[in-house]
Each structure stands twice: as C-alpha cells, then as structure tokens.
C-alpha cells in the first residue's frame, strides 16, 4: 500500500532515531520513496550517511543551505511528499509543532505543509506524562496530526512506562491504514457503544468503572474508514472524537440505551461499552452530607437494562450483525461462549481485563473472536489494529451475507 508513495521522514533527536534506518528500509521494501530530513540533534543518534545509503536519496539538514533554499527547499520538500512522518518526534519537536515555531529545516517544513502529517512520539515517560506535552499532543490531534503510539516499555534511561517510539512495523501499519481507500462498508450504518457509564448517586457523585473507551473508539474509527456511516454512543471518556464518526455523548446506561434505540436501524452493532450493571435506585436530589447519613451508608442498587441483549432481541430493528464484548477476569472463553447465547449476539469479542493485563486503560488488547461455531485467538495488538481487524472481519462477513445464511467468521 506504500507503493510509489513519497514519504518525507523527519528524524528528530531521540534515542529511537537508531530505528530509522530499519524504518526506511521497510518502507522502501513496500515500494515507498523515502527522503530523510535530520535535525541537528538527530545527527547525534543516526548518521546521515547511513540514511542516504538506505534511502538512496540525499539527506536534508540545513535550513540555510544556499543550493536548497535557492529553490525554497523547505516548501519544496513538503510539496513533493505524499506524507510527512516525524519519527522519532521528541517533546521539543511536538511543542514546536503545536506552537508553530519554525527555527530549523524540519520545523519550517512542518509549518509550511498541507500534506498529512504523522508523528511517532519518543521520550521519557515523565516527559510524555507532563501536562505541557499532553496538552500539546491533544492540540496536534485536533489539528489532524496523526499521532502513532507511543508504546509502553523499558526505556533507555532505565525508566519504565509510556514513551517508547512505536516499532517500525506499527508505524508502517498506521501509514497503510491511512492510505487504505477501500470502502466495503459504504451504504451500511454501524452503531458502536464505548466507554464506561456513570450512574449518579447524587448531583456530584457517581458509580463508574475503569473503561477508557479506547477500543470502542478504534472500532468506530475503522468502521467509518471502511465506509460505514458510524454512530458512536459513548459514555464519558477523555478521548477525542474519531474522525468521520457521528458522536452521541451519554452518561448513564439508560441514556445509552435510549441513544442506541434512537440510532436504529443499523446493519452492524458493536457493543464495546463497559456498561454499569446497576444504578442507584433512588438518586439523591441534593449532595449527601456525611454527618446526616446513618453509617455504614447503604446504597440500594437496581439492575440496569442490558443494551446488547435488548437490541439483540429486537424483532423489528435487530441489526444484521450484532457483536458483543466479554470483559472477563477468569474463564474468559467459557464465559464468553455463555454470553454469546444468553445475549443473542452473533459474535463475542472476549478479552481478559484482570488488572495485571492492563487492558482496561492501556493501548494493547489480546482478544478471542468467538462465534457459534468457532473461536479464534488473536495476537496482542494495539487497540487501533484490533479495531481495524474487527472492522475488516465485519466487512467480510456482511459481504458474504448475501451468499450465506449465517454470519460466519
């Protein structure tokens, strides 16, 4: 999918720059033409000579190069590219991008381009978690800069956490995903639920769970990318709205059910939300005061509607393909199979959400796809890759649907 694509790789000064020769090689193997731009600090981590040998192109470094700037090099390099990829993207470069600074060749290209820009951050975990960086990254996302990773793991500075640059294979997968233009789901409507629900106790307190919403958002984004008109009904999360998706924000399970019913009819429904099983039977109209309650304070809980089971059993509006999720901490497959029957869905995506798996708030997921007849174990993948894979399976199943009776995998 990278065939004949012109990729301008901007390498900034992080230790992960050592992976860039491999990244260039792999992109070239897929048919891409790659040109590299190095910042002055990147030169400490990777040699210009190596990159020019592997890319078979000149490597660009200077803003004030008489030969290049005579041809307006910083404008022309961006103009010539189909995609600009900043990898590794340091905290410094992300901040320059967010502020619109242009004090070297790399940042000038980024400011002067209208081409799609991808950035693969790489930095120490505490730098990544710093609100200055988080806010700048959020700003960049809003401006449609596509952020790849970072990943969690051991760091060169002996810390552990989020901040490692994504592997070249993941970066290439993100570029290929972007370049995918096939839309097998065009003309279809997909409904996706995601995130937690908040069940109010009083006007300021609520019951919730640890769901981040990342997996559901990734599925919604992929379904939209494959051409489906996609409605994402989401409980409260901190995530930006995925591109191309119609977003409906809700808080409680009952609001989520109402929003789902209002969104029908749909061809596809994927219920990823971690819906609270109970709500507080009598929500207090005013804030509960601790000195005015009997101790221990007892909350009466009533069961919430099961959105998946309700829509799965809808005789009139049941979507053609209903997919549920089973977040389990033990006996994952058995429990998921039982859920497939009891909730009336066609497929169940089962995953282990024990705290030590880090699935609930993390970026990776290890899932099993279960149907009436089969169970498949998938490798551990980024949630975005799981999302795309599920969306592609859905597209394939609906494509086969005309020929076959059941929705097989």
Whole-Å CA distances, 304 to 9, 100, 200? 50, 48, 13
**Closest Cα to residue 366, out of 356, 347, 353, 375?**
353
Q: Which of these is catalytic: 20, 36, 99, 157? A: 157
By the rule CB under 6 A, 145 interacts with ligand C5P: no
- Longest C-alpha distance within the chain, in Å? 81
**Of residues 87 and 323, the one with the C-beta less far from ligand C5P:** 323
Whole-Å CA distances, 233 to 291, 325, 388? 38, 15, 19
Helices marked H in 180-252:
214-225
By the rule CB under 6 A, 88 interacts with ligand C5P: no
**Of residues 149 and 324, the one with the C-beta less far from ligand C5P:** 324
Is 157 a known active-site residue?
A: yes
| Distance from C-alpha of 394 to C-alpha of 400, rounded to nearest angstrom | 10
- DSSP state for residue 305 in the 8-state scheme: P
Burial status of residue 292 (CB atoms within 10 A of its CB: 0-12, 13-18, 19 or more) = exposed
Q: Name the minimum Å distance from CB 323 to ligand C5P.
A: 8
Q: Name the minimum Å distance from CB 334 to ligand C5P.
A: 13
Candidate ranges 99-107, 174-182, 183-191, 320-328; the one touching ligand C5P (CB under 6 A): 320-328
Site for ligand C5P in 276-305 (CB under 6 A): 304
74, 109 contact by CB (below 8 A): yes
By the rule CB under 6 A, 308 interacts with ligand C5P: yes
| Distance from C-alpha of 306 to C-alpha of 294, rounded to nearest angstrom | 32
Helices marked H in 246-382:
253-263, 307-312, 332-342
| Distance from C-alpha of 251 to C-alpha of 262, rounded to nearest angstrom | 16
Candidate ranges 141-149, 161-169, 265-273, 292-300; the one touching ligand C5P (CB under 6 A): 265-273
**Of residues 55 and 351, the one with the C-beta less far from ligand C5P:** 351
**Of residues 51 and 326, the one with the C-beta less far from ligand C5P:** 326
Among 171, 325, 353, 365, binds ligand C5P (CB under 6 A): 325
By the rule CB under 6 A, 271 interacts with ligand C5P: yes
Among 273, 321, 360, 394, binds ligand C5P (CB under 6 A): 273
Among 306, 363, 368, 407, binds ligand C5P (CB under 6 A): 306
Binding residues for ligand C5P, rule CB under 6 A, total 14
For 207, what's the count of Cα atoms within 13 Å in the CB-facing half-sphere? 17
Question: At which residue do the structure tokens 């294979």 appear?
Answer: 169
By the rule CB under 6 A, 217 interacts with ligand C5P: no
By the rule CB under 6 A, 194 interacts with ligand C5P: no
Q: Which residues are catalytic?
A: 157
Please report, as ranges, the residues that interact with ligand C5P according to CB under 6 A: 193, 253, 271-273, 275, 304, 306-308, 324-326, 339
């Amino acid at each position: 999918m990278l065939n004949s694509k012109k990729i301008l790789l901007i390498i900034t000064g992080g230790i992960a720059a050592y992976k860039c020769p491999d990244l260039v090689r792999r992109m070239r193997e897929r048919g891409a033409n790659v040109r590299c731009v190095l910042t002055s600090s990147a030169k400490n981590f990777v040699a210009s000579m190596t990159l020019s040998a592997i890319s078979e192109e000149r490597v660009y470094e200077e803003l004030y190069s008489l030969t290049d700037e005579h041809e307006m090099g910083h404008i022309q390099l961006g103009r010539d590219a189909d995609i600009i990829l900043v990898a590794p993207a340091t905290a410094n470069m992300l901040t320059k991008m967010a502020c619109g600074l242009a004090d070297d060749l790399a940042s000038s290209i980024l400011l002067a381009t209208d081409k799609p820009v991808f950035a693969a951050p790489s930095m120490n975990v505490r730098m990544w978690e710093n609100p200055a960086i988080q806010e700048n990254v959020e700003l960049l996302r809003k401006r449609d800069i596509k952020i790849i990773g970072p990943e969690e793991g051991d760091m060169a500075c002996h810390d552990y956490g989020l901040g490692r640059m994504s592997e070249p294979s993941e970066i290439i997968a993100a570029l290929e995903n972007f370049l995918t233009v096939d839309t097998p789901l065009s003309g279809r409507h997909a409904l996706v639920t995601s995130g937690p629900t908040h069940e109010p106790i009083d006007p300021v307190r609520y019951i919730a769970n640890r769901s981040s919403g990342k997996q559901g958002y990734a599925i919604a984004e992929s379904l939209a990318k494959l051409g489906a008109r996609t409605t994402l009904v989401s409980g409260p999360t901190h995530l930006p709205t995925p591109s191309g998706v119609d977003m409906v924000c809700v808080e409680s399970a009952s609001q989520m059910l109402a929003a789902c019913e209002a969104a029908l009819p749909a061809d596809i429904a994927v219920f990823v939300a971690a819906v609270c099983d109970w709500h507080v039977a009598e929500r207090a109209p005013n804030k509960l005061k601790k000195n005015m309650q009997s101790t221990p304070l007892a909350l009466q809980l009533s069961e919430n509607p099961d959105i998946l089971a309700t829509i799965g059993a809808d005789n009139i509006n049941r979507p053609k393909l209903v997919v549920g999720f089973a977040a389990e901490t033990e006996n994952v497959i058995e429990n998921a199979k039982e859920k497939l029957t009891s909730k009336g869905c066609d497929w169940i995506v089962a995953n282990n959400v024990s705290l030590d798996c880090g699935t609930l708030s993390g970026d990776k997921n290890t899932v099993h796809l279960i149907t009436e007849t089969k169970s498949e174990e998938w490798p551990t993948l980024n949630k975005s890759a799981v999302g795309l894979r599920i969306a592609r399976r859905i597209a394939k199943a609906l494509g086969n649907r005309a020929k076959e009776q059941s929705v097989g995998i």
